[in-house]
Amino acid sequence: MSFKFSQKVSLFIILLIPISVGLWIRYKPVEFWLTHKSAFFVENRPIFTGYDSYYFARLAEDYKIGVFKPGGEDPLRFVPDQVQYPDVIPFYSWLFAKLSQIFNKPIENITFWLIPILAVWFVIPLTVLLYKLKSPLGALGASLAGVVSFIYLGRTSLNRLDTDSIIYFSIFAIPLAVYLYSISNGKRVKYLFLVLLSLFVHIFYWGYLHPDLIFVFWITSIVYLVLPNFKGSNPFRERNFWKEIALVTLAFNPIILGIGFFSFLGKINSYIFHFGQPIESNFPNIQLSISELQKFDLATIANITVGSQPLFYLGLFGLLLFAYKRPRESILFLPTLLMGLISLKGASRFAMFLSPLLGLGIGFLLDYLSSEIKRYFQSGFSLLIKPLLGATLVLVLMLTNLKSFYYIPKPIMSPSLAQAFIELGKRTPPDAWIYTWWDYGYAIQYYARRATFHDGGTQFSPKTYFIALGFTSPSPEVGYNVTKTLAVCGKECIEQLLEEGKSAKQIKELFESGKLLKGKNINHPIYWVFTGDLISKFFWISYFGSWNFETLKGNHYPLYQTICIERLPKGIFCPIGGATAIFNPLNMSLVLKKRTYPVKIFAVKTPKELKIYLNEKISNGNAIEKVYTFKENFYIWFLTNREGFYTNFNRMFILRTYNQSLFELVASRFPDYLFYKVR
């Protein structure tokens, strides 16, 4: 067997192992999904497993039906300001729109089968690059750690239409092209790899639309390429030095680089210096409530990247060794490392970029160990060392990431919630604007084809505060005024008021009073939408809605949902937070974990009436609610505090009592959904 043939076989095996494992763990849940369709599908369509999936799916749908306008106004997002469509249809949206047309299937039915394949295609450039760098075990470790890491699996799991897989591919494909260009001698071959580099750069831009990352990769690529020229004579006087920089810059596209430079400065400001701080004149920052933007401790990061802390530290040590032994080549991986390190500051999703690098570190250590063994032991046994170490590497990474092999991704919403949004599209006119929390803005735009005030890409403006304010206020009139005002005074209007010298508190008062509505016409019907998922999110909705502009803090109003068993006269037994609470309606007390809490309000909502019992002996205390559902004779219970009880959210959604001169109930299927039209 020739040397070249053995190298090809070795490369094929190193490619085959992570690709096979990656596909296996991603397709394994398919059977479970198909046998439990009632929990995972709506109208024979698999429900997406990520919030942002609905954004890319809706763009694909818009492209299919011919309403997508590159750079034009997107009529369904961020009303009344509206945002623009991307300058180009994102690659995955375009791809799935085309496949949906070809196979005549809904977009989510196509993503269900194709996403796992796209999730592992990064293995090819990463493995080839490290194999070319003479680190076969580094290639195996990096690729396998990448495909089995829990955080990357979660972000590229079944039916999760998102950009993570194309990012993973690009951050290794671009360095591969740069490296191949640098080691090539012939002019034609060099130009070929420049074309390949340009192709990868434009795929990255088309797929992710983040020119700031392309700008960073351009910097590290230039540094990598010009570094050898600084040995000896002054390279700035060499014509070829500037020619090489110009050619690579051209491959990266100067227009993208120019946009990327300013975008990069903005990202540094947002993620590093202002993460979690109040925005725009002390309006609350919604970043505080977003789980994937929160900071994980080191143990958690280790667990979700390579499976254990010992492997995490071993990978870091190996990565340092790789940087020491291959300092120039390490530059190619620097942008990926920097993105991964952001997870230590916050934005936990960036931890996924650490997984392949830690795997590289572990594999490179084994490569180094193998070479040392071969240097000291010149025998036939030494030839088996690398295969044995490779097998050990595969076994260790698989055993420490066993949770990935048992992982079954769950839909981002229940079928009943998805059905609620489909029903919303049927119960509202096409020009309706939807007033609800931001999490499912994209889903509403996709299922209902209705415009929302904010969504998963526009939730950081003060408009999100005002939606929380409307829900949290105890006054229906304030909720009404805030809603109507938001329809005529969006983000740009709020910024203008700030420029005029008004404080955030003064703007809040203008919204509450409705003074900004004078002389303004609202041409779109507005609907308040309550859905069952908002009950758990009320913890943060109330925090932002009760924001104090002096202390720069809000108050979390609890809202616990439970099912209670009535065993009078002993009491009413309710499981809350892993313990059993006993409510005595006779003396208005609640016993939980051997402590007694006073109950101020006990409300009972039946299909016919609402009865509210007040404890006159105390001025403050808990509120307990027993409310009917759409299921006959089936009641659920809620526990909140006095402030939470009187919010518009609780009264209009949980208790279904409202000011009929301000709102009109359009549809009710509690706890799945309630739709109110703002009069």
pLDDT above 70 as % of the chain: 94
One domain for residues 151 and 224:
yes
Decide if 247 is inside a domain: yes
Measured distance CA(213)–CA(504) in Å, rounded? 34
pTM: 0.92
Q: What is residue 171's predicted lDDT score, i.e. its pLDDT?
A: 97
One domain for residues 126 and 242:
yes
Decide if 152 is inside a domain: yes
Decide if 672 is inside a domain: no
Q: 223 pLDDT exceeds 60?
A: yes
Q: State the pLDDT confidence band at 274, using cuts at 50, 70 and 90.
A: low
User: Averaged over 636-665, what is the pLDDT?
Assistant: 97
In this predicted model, what pLDDT tens digit does every residue of 232-246 receive, in sequence order?
Answer: 666 666 667 788 899
Q: State the pLDDT confidence band at 2, using cuts at 50, 70 and 90.
A: very low
Q: 229 pLDDT exceeds 50?
A: yes
Q: What is residue 228's predicted lDDT score, i.e. its pLDDT?
A: 82
In this predicted model, what pLDDT tens digit does every residue of 298-350 receive, in sequence order?
Answer: 999 999 999 999 999 999 999 999 999 999 999 999 999 999 998 887 778 89
Q: 277 pLDDT exceeds 60?
A: no
One domain for residues 201 and 309:
yes
In this predicted model, what pLDDT tens digit does every residue of 153-203 receive, in sequence order?
Answer: 999 999 999 999 999 999 999 999 999 999 998 889 999 999 999 999 999
Q: What is residue 632's predicted lDDT score, i.e. its pLDDT?
A: 92
User: Averaged over 360-364, what is the pLDDT?
Assistant: 98
Mean pLDDT over all residues of the chain?
93
Q: State the pLDDT confidence band at 1, using cuts at 50, 70 and 90.
A: very low
Range of the domain at 433: 415-545
Decide if 592 is inside a domain: yes
Decide if 47 is inside a domain: no
Domain endpoint, select from 359, 381, 405: 405
Determine the angle formed by the axes of helices 385-400 and 3-27, rounding to 10 degrees: 10
Q: 567 pLDDT exceeds 70?
A: yes
Domain endpoint, select from 356, 380, 405: 405
Measured distance CA(435)–CA(444) in Å, rounded? 11
Q: What is residue 7's predicted lDDT score, i.e. its pLDDT?
A: 85
Q: 382 pLDDT exceeds 90?
A: no
Q: What is residue 273's predicted lDDT score, i.e. its pLDDT?
A: 55
**Which region, left, alpha or beta, applies to residue 109 given φ > 0 means left and ψ of -120 to 50 means alpha?**
alpha
Q: What is residue 481's predicted lDDT score, i.e. its pLDDT?
A: 98
Q: 45 pLDDT exceeds 50?
A: yes
Q: 263 pLDDT exceeds 60?
A: yes
One domain for residues 503 and 584:
no
Q: Which residues pair with 589 in a beta bridge?
A: 584, 598
Q: 488 pLDDT exceeds 90?
A: yes
CATH number, residue 467: 3.40.1380.40
Q: What is residue 157's predicted lDDT score, i.e. its pLDDT?
A: 94
Q: State the pLDDT confidence band at 635, using cuts at 50, 70 and 90.
A: very high
Domain endpoint, select from 405, 429, 457: 405
With CA atoms as reference, report the closest residue to 146 among 403, 317, 411, 401: 401
Measured distance CA(647)–CA(640) in Å, rounded? 11
Decide if 59 is inside a domain: no
One domain for residues 535 and 636:
no
In this predicted model, what pLDDT tens digit does every residue of 431-441 receive, in sequence order?
Answer: 999 999 999 99
3-class DSSP string for 364-431: HHHHHHHHHHHHHCCCHHHHHHHHHHHHHHHHHHHHHCHHHHCCCCCCCCCHHHHHHHHHHHHHCCCC
In this predicted model, what pLDDT tens digit does every residue of 116-159 receive, in sequence order?
Answer: 999 999 999 999 999 999 999 999 999 999 999 999 999 999 99
One domain for residues 201 and 275:
yes
One domain for residues 379 and 527:
no
pLDDT above 90 as % of the chain: 85
Measured distance CA(209)–CA(636) in Å, rounded? 46
Indicate the residue type of 342.
I
Which residues have CB under 8 Å from 163's CB, separation 6+?
56, 90, 92, 207, 208
List, as one string, the DSSP characters of 279-348.
Answer: BTTTBPPGGGG-GGGSPPPHHHHHHHHTSSHHHHHHHHHHHHHHHHHSHHHHGGGHHHHHHHHHHHHS-G
One domain for residues 149 and 283:
yes
Decide if 40 is inside a domain: no
Q: Which residues pair with 663 in a beta bridge?
A: 678
Q: 46 pLDDT exceeds 50?
A: yes
3-state secondary structure of 202: helix
Could you tell me what percentage of the chain is helix, strand and coil, using 3-state DSSP and rounding each to the nearest 5?
60, 15, 30
3-state secondary structure of 146: helix
In this predicted model, what pLDDT tens digit does every residue of 498-540 receive, in sequence order?
Answer: 999 999 999 999 999 999 999 899 999 999 999 999 999 999 9
One domain for residues 327 and 430:
no
One domain for residues 585 and 632:
yes
One domain for residues 281 and 327:
yes
Domain count, the chain: 3
Decide if 518 is inside a domain: yes
Q: State the pLDDT confidence band at 270, using cuts at 50, 70 and 90.
A: low
For residue 609, give both structure tokens: 């009436």
One domain for residues 349 and 455:
no
3-state secondary structure of 571: strand
With CA atoms as reference, report the closest residue to 268 among 155, 175, 345, 353: 345
Measured distance CA(421)–CA(442) in Å, rounded? 11
Provide the 10 A C-beta neighbour count for residue 250. Answer: 12
